[in-house]
Amino acid sequence: MARVLVTGSDGQLGMCLREIQSQYPDISFHFTNKNKLDITKKRELNSFFSSNKINWCINCAAYTNVDKAEEEPDSASLINKKGAEILAEVTNTQNVTLIHVSTDFVFDGKQKNPYTENDRTNPINIYGKTKLDGEKSIVKLNQNHFIIRTSWLYSKYKSNFLKTMLKLATEKNKINVVSDQFGSPTNAIDLAHVILKLILVDSKSYGIYHFSNEGVVSWFEFAKTIFKEKQIDIEVNPIKTENYITLAKRPLYSVLDKTKIKETFNLSIPFWKDSLKETISKL
């Protein structure tokens, strides 16, 4: 039986892993959060792994507030870079396979076609830079790793674009949404299933992979579809990035090429609208 540690399990992905764990009886789960297990503390990690005989670790612990990271670069770096580095070092020593969740924000968004795992990284904000630094540490320190970059993650849990739009709809009758940033939404439940299937087959196909739902959309179109599915009558107006000022720059195009993960693990990935509809039906 696979014995799996999930760090940062209070976040979206961690909560989705909790939700579906009963579907995976051949996996024994240990869910922790920062209060139970701090990935920036090496001694704490070593003690945990030694006591619990873990053989897989899914690292969901991350500093994910993109704008706040611009004001708190040290805090973002501590978790996204240093935490990943320490976790990679400890899991390597303890012979644990590390699955680390990363982001489309490692790219600058200047490309016109989907980014492959081999395309040049060039983050344009602190969040993306710290996540890329974390990736580099993992590659260097634990060869038994899977780094899964994902994009536009949403679920029924925590804070995300889907829940923000639904909240705004209760407060306003008209909103503006950026229409010139393009990507692929990712249902966190779909990502959770992929990660657990990877563990079930005891894969040794280590490396960096991209995962999101299929299809390309703008934030504006994403919002329109959310309201249509929920049958909410609200005026949604498209605006340009230059007219929506944020602390952190966002890539204009961050679509991920999923060919590698589909071919390696024989995956069929749902279209983003279908996964969105399923999530909304459960809200």
CA atoms within 13 A on the CB side of 191: 33
CB atoms within 10 A of CB 32: 19
Rounded distance between C-alpha atoms, residue 150 and residue 240, angstroms? 24
Q: Rounded to the nearest 5°, which phi and psi values hold at 122?
A: -165, 70
86 sits in the region (left: phi over 0; alpha: psi -120 to 50; else beta) called alpha
Considering 127, 157, 209, 253, which one is annotated as catalytic?
127
- 127 belongs to the catalytic site: yes
Handedness of CA 270, 274, 278, 283 (dihedral sign): positive
Sheet order of strands, 2-7 included: 27-31, 2-7, 56-59, 97-103, 145-150, 207-210
Catalytic positions, please?
A: 127
